[in-house]
Copies of this chain bind each other. A is one copy, B any other.
Amino acid sequence: MGLSRHDLLTIGQLAERSGLATSALRYYERMGLIHSERTTGNQRRFARSTLRRVAFVRAAQQVGLSLEEVRAALDRLPVDRAPSHEDWNAVARTWQVRIDRQIEELELMKRKLTGCIGCGCLSLTRCGLYNAEDRAGRAGSGARYLRTGDPADGPEPLPAGL
């Protein structure tokens, strides 16, 4: 019932099947995202399940998580047993919130943009996108936000060239 040699992938095989470069996989291992055993000659051997783990990481990246965040998420899954329904739900919910927020932002942007196309943006004073400016506060190097509307500024004439 142990792992036959067939169950282990070299880093090259994992790279080929995951679509990532071997250098990226070594990087992921250094970051604690994936793990490997070593042969007597010190070469990495990955369990096939690592493919899933890599897919998880890539998917998470696509929804905007940093590798550090992914690592944190993966660390919440138990190492010594299969993840339970609860374990998994906790991780999944984090993602869903993130995904929902992303989608919401994109749709807002899209609505604004559609409005702009409709109006031709020749009269910018009422344009949501163009007026999504000014007074956007920030602290540190995190995400910035853009506030819509700027009651302090009245209508402005449109200068040439935006």
| A interface with B by C-beta (< 8 Å) | 17-20, 47-49, 51-56, 58-59, 62-63, 74, 77-85, 88-89, 92-93, 95-96, 99-100, 102-103, 105-107, 109-110, 112-114, 116-117, 120-122, 124, 129-138, 144, 146, 156, 158-162
**Which residues on B sit within 8 Å (CB–CB) of A130?**
52, 55-56
Question: Does A162 contact B77, Cβ atoms closer than 8 Å?
Answer: yes
Question: Does A54 contact B85, Cβ atoms closer than 8 Å?
Answer: no
Closest to A107 in B: B103
Closest to A138 in B: B19
Q: A160's contact among B62, B79, B112, by CB below 8 Å, is which?
A: B79
Question: Does B17 contact A161, Cβ atoms closer than 8 Å?
Answer: no
